[in-house]
Amino acid sequence: MRTLECELLVVGSGPSGAVTAALLAEAGHDVLLAEEGPDLSSDSAENYSYAEMDTKYRHGGLTTTFGGTNITYIEGRCVGGASEINAALYHRPHDETLEKWARDYRIDGFGSAELEPRFSSIEQEMKTSRRPHGLSPASNRLHEGSDKLGWKSGEIERFWRYEKEDGRWGRRQSMSNTMIPRARAAGCRVEAHLRVRKLIFEGDRCVAVQALSGKTELVRVVFKEIFLCCGAVQTPTLLRRSGITKHVGDSLRLHPMIRIAARFDDVVNDPDWGVPVRQVSEFKPDLTLGCSHSSIPHIALWLGQAVQDKRSVLEEWNKVAVFYAAVCGEGTGTIRALPFVDQPFIRYQLTKKDYGLLAAGLMRMGELVFAGGAKEIFSPFEGGASLKGPGDLKAFENVDKKSAVNVTTIHLFSSCPMGELDTCPVDSWGRLKGTQNVHVHDASLLPTSPGVNPQGTIMAIARRNTEHFLGA
């Protein structure tokens, strides 16, 4: 068995792991950043292509929860994690959400004032920006529809850089383009294809991990402190596999989403623009409406089962766009590590309120795209007929666990909530309770749903906790 040694081990190289590793290395520590996926450049594959899914997604994106309604989700599995595959949208959470977390979960030194300098640092370092050259045709249709309905909407900032060398379309500020180069420049070692399988304890100290390099090589890593940044699914799975089970993986939350494909009479889909960046904020935080990436494979996926001749629709793919309704989920789920199985078992139950919000989201989205000029909406319900106008929207009135509809998510969190409540497995600063040197710095820390894209919040909390560890 090969042995690696370091002072500080960071497991997972997504947004939280990259921030943590960079700050620790820049403070002069000997840091090893372990990533189970490959080390690829941000432009190694076309965005949202099969090649990207095959190389950068866990299980090619084919992952799901179980329960009354199965929910498909995606995880990044490469150096840079989810930041390499997401839309790079950036939101600050509502101040009321942060204050409620601090109050309800008894989180010390936490709130909007405490996180303000961390958000400001992230926005400066990551080049948060808006598009300098206007918006995509689909975004403009969403804008047109929201204006007609009198709903608030706006362009969402992104981690995206627009400088001369980046060309007209700019450059995604993923972790492989930002924080990981910073970490490496400060001396951090990055070990790709290194999957940590189990934590090894001596009393209340974690002294080493067992890992697998590639498919067969066993590796032991020894260290003084370990930071788990594997994400809301993999962090609790690793802890439970290591015998740490108390309140771990018992409170998973997510943002359920339903998508629809809509056809227009003129061109609304131009792939050069990438992901549309306008959202309707009228109903936030409970409900967010927006437009998804609309490549031909994505359109084919969301046309639904009722479309008999998909080929004819796809021949005019540039007149079709995919839209989504995302809700602030109230339900919770559990994550369990299964023996002899790599994939964890996730059970998630949507609540009656969740189903009601999804139905309301479909209704609102239908109103929005018809107001924006859509001529047809392809029903997301199996066997459902296409909708030709606002009068047909009654078909969206009911969503429940018996509905044959695809529910998805791209935001998962809250599986190891932080705080001083007895039910919180992690303390106010990210230390795993009952241990001296195990720290959790990822999406699993968020006490409940943030109601917005969580990446910025995750990075701010990782920065806060790392600075506390360093005594800054």
Residues labelled as active-site residues: 411
- The full length of the chain comes to 472
- Name the 3-class secondary structure at 86: coil
Residue 259 and residue 176: Cα distance in Å, rounded?
Answer: 29
Site of tokens 């994939």: 343
Q: Which two tokens stand for residue 47?
A: 């965005």
C-alpha separations of 39 from 176, 194, 294, 456 in Å: 9, 11, 27, 23
Contacts of 68 (CB under 8 A, 6+ apart): 349, 350, 401
Q: Which two tokens stand for residue 154?
A: 């706006």
Q: How far is CA 154 from the centre of its chain?
A: 21
- Name the 3-class secondary structure at 90: coil
Q: Which two tokens stand for residue 399?
A: 């969503």
- Name the 3-class secondary structure at 380: coil
Helices and strands in the chain: count of H runs, count of E runs:
11, 25
Contact 176, 191 (CB under 8 A): no
Residue 186 and residue 356: Cα distance in Å, rounded?
Answer: 50
Q: Which two tokens stand for residue 56?
A: 């950068």
DSSP string for 270-323: -GGG-S--EEE-TTTTTEEEEE----HHHHHHHT-TT-S-HHHHHHTGGGEEEE
The amino acid that residue 45 corresponds to is: A
Site of tokens 């227009």: 264
Nearest Cα neighbor of 314 from 375, 254, 261 is 261
